[in-house]
Amino acid sequence: MGDLYLVTGGAGFIGSHVVAELLQRGHAVRILDNFSTGRRGNLTAVGGDVEVFEGDMRSYERAHNAVKGVDFVIHLAALPSVPRSVQDPLTTNEANITGTLNVLLAARDNEARRVVLASSSSIYGANAAMPKREDMMPQPISPYAVSKLAAEQYARAFAVVYGLETVSLRYFNVFGPRQDPTSQYSGVVPRFMRIALEAGRPVVFGDGEQSRDFTYVANVVDATLSAATAPGAAGNICNIGCGDPKTVLDLIAAVSRVAGRPLEPEFAPPRVGDVKHSFADIALARKLLGYEPRVGFDEGIGRTFAWLVEDMPGAPA
């Protein structure tokens, strides 16, 4: 058996894919999840011998127990969503900042070898320069983005002050199988796909020309596992995207193609806290992690739609 990994948020969308790949590579896996957004069904999908710690990372005691004996921590647990953070910034702060601090303390106290932290492209916020580079000044414009930036800074401080190896990864608009299409906070990709299956009309906030670096989940998994062991990665922050921006209207066209029917959007005013354009410069991830996105946008859209049609219970056919 390989190393022991703790995946916080391991029952979630990205977490369950990370868990599956770790098991595939022969590692032992432990999960810490409170199942507020994660799903037990995602763990059924990964199979294998996974140790599950049910609990909230806002409890230091729970985090400490989960990290005990672990070699690597992949910290994915968070309260996602910009709109949710705008509605309830206090809970976002507690989960994403206090929760991260507890995980870092637990990793320090249990002498874990490295912590990989899931951050977000949202930290760039109002900084309009393109593409987004890690040395740019963050200008977060939502409580969610602030919470992710604070988590990054805690990780960096722990590396400097306590010698705990940390790597922060700024994920760009991850999509793929197991992303919940029914949640009001779900990503736009599965939401649009579900609407297509139900012959509905997607709501587009703004003019639809806003662009995102839609990144298929397998690419993110590759980068995340590389970040756990890459010798030169410790102490760094890396963008994880594809460097290939698509507009929301591009996404609607792609979903229309795989669904075999045109999606007619309804336009609504822009949302508070949303960023107009965002895509990644991934040169640093290439250099430090050997990262190369292997699943492009169109292939990822096809894979995700096939999952939604075939594998999700209750999905319209």
Judge whether residue 148 has pLDDT over 80.
Answer: yes
Q: Is residue 290, in this structure, part of any structural domain at all?
A: no
- The model's pTM is 0.95
Residues 74 and 24 in one domain: yes
Tokens of 307: 């999952």
* pLDDT (0 to 100) of residue 183: 76
* Spatial CA neighbour of 304 closest among 204, 194, 230, 209: 194
> Does 317 have pLDDT greater than 50?
no
Residue 35 lies in a domain: yes
- Whether residues 80 and 223 share a domain: the answer is yes
What is the DSSP track for 247-262?
EHHHHHHHHHHHHTS-
User: In sequence order, what are the residues at sequence separation of 6 or more whose Cβ sits closer than 8 angstroms to the Cβ of residue 200?
Assistant: none
Residue 287 covered by a domain:
no
Does residue 288 lie within any of the structural domains? no
Q: Residue 229: inside a domain, yes or no?
A: yes
What amino acid positions are annotated as catalytic residues?
Answer: 144
Tokens 């690597």 — which residue?
A: 72
Tell me the CATH number at 182.
Answer: 3.90.25.10
User: Is residue 190 domain-shared with residue 128, that is, in the same domain?
Assistant: no
Classified as helix, coil or strand, 1 is coil
Compute the distance between CA of residue 211 and CA of residue 248 in angstroms, rounded to an integer: 6
Q: Determine the Cα–Cα distance for residues 62 and 39; give it in Å rounded to an integer.
A: 19
Average confidence (pLDDT) over 67-85: 95
> Which of 149, 123, 304, 305 shows the shortest CA–CA distance to 217?
304
pLDDT 10s digits, 111-132:
999 999 999 999 999 998 999 9
Considering the domain boundaries, does residue 316 fall inside one? no
Whether residues 265 and 148 share a domain: the answer is no
Structural domain boundaries, residue 24: 4-172+216-241
Q: Which residue has the tokens 């912590």?
A: 115
Q: What percent of the chain has pLDDT over 70?
A: 97
Q: Which one-letter amino acid corresponds to residue 161?
A: V
Three-state secondary-structure class, residue 125? coil
Q: Specify whether 88 is located in the same domain as 40.
A: yes
CA distance 240 to 262: 31
CATH of the domain at 124: 3.40.50.720
